[in-house]
Structure 1
Amino acid sequence: MRDMPNGHWRRSSHSGHEGGDCVELANLSPLVGVRDSKDPEGPKLTFSAAACAAFTCSIKNSQHDLA
């Protein structure tokens, strides 16, 4: 989404303050924005709120673990 509205971006509570692999989300109603906190001016993704909630739930249920 090129002309993404400014939103309040928040970092995952599971991310440390030392940098590393961090994801930030923003409520861009009716969408949810996702970006890499290390590159806030870089590419961003948008998802419907329902798709974002379903994906978050699947992460919490360990459905994407690599081990």
Structure 2
Amino acid sequence: MESTSKTTTVTISANVEAPVAKVWRCWTEPQHITRWNNASDDWHTPRAENDLRVGGTFLSRM
């Protein structure tokens, strides 16, 4: 197997037409994370924790 030094960059973006405060809540609050954090329709996230302070932690269980 050959080693390669090429780096691939992937950029993903989305335009969300909603107030910034609402988008922030839906993206960061655990009760919302459990509703959108799904790898596919047959997976779910029953638990999420998110501490946005410096040194805080993030946890989501699928």
Task: Judge same fold: TM > 0.5, yes or no.
Answer: no
Q: TM-score, structure 2 length as denominator?
A: 0.30
Which structure has the greater CA radius of gyration?
A: 2
**Structure with a larger share of its residues in strand:** 1
Structure with higher helix content: 2
